[in-house]
């Protein structure tokens, strides 16, 4: 089969499909015993940097469920290392950056690098995964400039993003220079993933919902736009907490707009207009008893309104606590919905 005729890519282009395509953010991960077994022997960074292993993890959910797309196994923080930041995934703490950016000189000192060389392991993993996937399209991805910058500045996860906002407000030149560097690197990185064989790409702006609409437009939108407008395959623009400024999110770009559960999908589709939409089950609903879960899934499919251009997904990544049987139920329920 021609990948271009797959349900997932047809939905990205808003063409009619036989049933709604589905994949899940973080579909490879700790809720799967196959993944946990590999993690007993390898760290997260080793998995990401060993192309055969990254391709293998990419395949795990594809073997187990009837997903309509695979996503390459990697992490949005991998480009921090070649930029010159020391990244570690500390046990139980999540990511830690030991030399986080604290001012203009740190921004000036970031390395520029050749993505094809220094992130070549991701591109190799994509080539291997594509050769194994056959009928299933592969999604490449990167973090959005704001979300990547926030980790580089905060040094890890943050609740209020105060260091990030302080750099933005007090040292705007350094902020804009940082966003310029990250967005041009990200634009090239996603293009290289496409050249390696990714059929679509997703840009993750996980935490940008902490900004006001006005700050989003001034400090973020031009850089997200630069990344999104320079891609040659369908591009999914993911964010959370941005239901109040979907218009600005759409203005930044994306063939597919991925929304979270804080907005009704019908409402989101009205605002988004002539583009495909992805979402938007609350990932916590995957912890519900099966019958309630099925009801929640059907509500979303109903809200999507039987118009072409809906890709079923969560509003954010799968939780490690998710029963694997519920993911199976989800995929079956979505595929059985009559369009
Ligand atoms: O979706 C997939 O199946 C592909 C793999 C993938 C990972 N990270 C692997 C991973 C993807 C798409 C990501 C994206 C990512 N990474 C985001 C954006 C999506 C989101 O959830 O908002 C962010 C913010 C990160 C940064 C990151 N990586 C954090 C905050 C953490 C620690 C928290 C956590 O979930 O454990 C990670 C680690 C990480 N990246 C894991 C996986 C499978 C878990 C680590 C482990 O195996 O111990």
Residues 6+ apart with CB under 8 A from 246: 257, 259, 263, 268, 271, 272
At residue 92, the pLDDT reads 81
Taking the C-alpha atoms of residue 15 and residue 310, their distance in angstroms, rounded to an integer, is 10
Q: What is the pTM of this model?
A: 0.97
At residue 112, the pLDDT reads 97
| Ligand 1 centre distance from Cα of residue 335 (Å) | 26
Buried b or exposed e, range 261-278, using 16+ CB within 10 angstroms: bebebeebbebbeebbbb
At residue 194, the pLDDT reads 98
| Ligand 1 centre distance from Cα of residue 307 (Å) | 31
- C-beta 275 within 6 A of ligand 1: no
Catalytic residue among 151, 189, 216, 219: 151
**Given the DSSP bridges, would you call strands 94-97 and 87-90 parallel, antiparallel or unpaired?**
antiparallel
**Given the DSSP bridges, would you call strands 94-97 and 138-143 parallel, antiparallel or unpaired?**
unpaired
At residue 182, the pLDDT reads 98
Q: Which protein residue has the closest C-alpha to ligand 1 atom 3?
A: 26
- C-beta 140 within 6 A of ligand 1: no
- C-beta 69 within 6 A of ligand 1: no
At residue 91, the pLDDT reads 85
By C-alpha distance, which of 312, 309, 306, 307 is closest to 333? Answer: 312
- C-beta 315 within 6 A of ligand 1: no
Q: Which protein residue has the closest C-alpha to ligand 1 atom 7?
A: 75
Q: Which protein residue has the closest C-alpha to ligand 1 atom 23?
A: 76
By C-alpha distance, which of 44, 51, 45, 8 is closest to 29? Answer: 44
At residue 24, the pLDDT reads 98
User: In a structure prediction context, what are the per-residue pLDDT tens digits for the chain, which is 339 residues long?
Assistant: 799 999 999 999 999 999 999 999 999 999 999 999 999 999 999 999 999 999 999 999 999 999 999 999 999 999 999 999 999 998 888 999 999 999 999 999 999 999 999 999 999 999 999 999 999 999 999 999 999 999 999 999 999 999 999 999 999 999 999 999 999 999 999 999 999 999 999 999 999 999 999 999 999 999 999 999 999 999 999 999 999 999 999 999 999 999 999 999 999 999 999 999 999 999 999 999 999 999 999 999 999 999 999 999 999 999 999 999 999 999 999 999 999
Report the 10 Å Cβ neighbour count for 250.
16
- C-beta 38 within 6 A of ligand 1: no
Taking the C-alpha atoms of residue 174 and residue 176, their distance in angstroms, rounded to an integer, is 6
- C-beta 26 within 6 A of ligand 1: yes
Q: Which protein residue has the closest C-alpha to ligand 1 atom 12?
A: 26
């Amino acid at each position: 089969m021609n990948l271009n005729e797959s349900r997932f890519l047809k939905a990205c282009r808003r063409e009619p499909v036989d049933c709604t395509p589905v994949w899940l953010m973080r579909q490879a991960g700790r809720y799967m015993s196959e993944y946990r077994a590999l993690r007993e022997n390898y760290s997260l960074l080793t998995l990401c940097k060993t192309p055969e292993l990254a391709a293998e993890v990419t395949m795990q959910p594809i073997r187990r469920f009837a997903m309509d797309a695979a996503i390459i196994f990697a992490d949005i923080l991998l480009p921090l290392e070649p930029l010159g930041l020391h990244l570690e995934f500390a046990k139980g703490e999540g990511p830690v950056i030991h030399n986080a950016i604290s001012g203009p000189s740190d921004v000036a000192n970031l390395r520029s690098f050749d993505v094809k060389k220094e992130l070549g392991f991701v591109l190799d993993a994509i080539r291997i995964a594509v050769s194994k996937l056959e009928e299933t399209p592969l999604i490449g991805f990167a973090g959005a400039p704001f979300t990547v910058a926030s980790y580089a500045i905060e040094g890890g996860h943050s609740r209020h993003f105060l260091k990030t906002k302080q750099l933005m407000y007090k040292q705007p030149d350094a902020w804009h220079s940082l966003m310029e560097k990250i967005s041009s690197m990200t634009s090239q990185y996603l293009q290289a993933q496409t050249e390696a064989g990714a059929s679509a790409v997703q840009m993750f702006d996980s935490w940008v919902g902490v900004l006001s609409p006005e700050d989003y437009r001034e400090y973020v939108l031009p850089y997200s736009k630069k990344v999104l407008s320079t891609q040659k395959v369908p591009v999914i623009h993911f964010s959370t907490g941005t239901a109040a400024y979907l218009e600005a999110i759409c203005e930044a770009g994306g063939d597919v707009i991925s929304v979270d559960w804080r907005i009704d999908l019908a409402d989101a589709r009205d605002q988004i207009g002539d583009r495909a939409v992805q979402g938007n089950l609350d990932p916590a609903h995957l912890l519900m008893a099966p019958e309630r879960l099925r009801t929640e899934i059907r509500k979303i499919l109903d809200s999507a309104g039987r118009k072409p251009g809906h890709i079923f997904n969560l509003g954010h990544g799968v939780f490690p606590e998710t029963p694997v049987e519920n993911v199976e139920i989800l995929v079956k329920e979505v595929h059985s919905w009559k369009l």
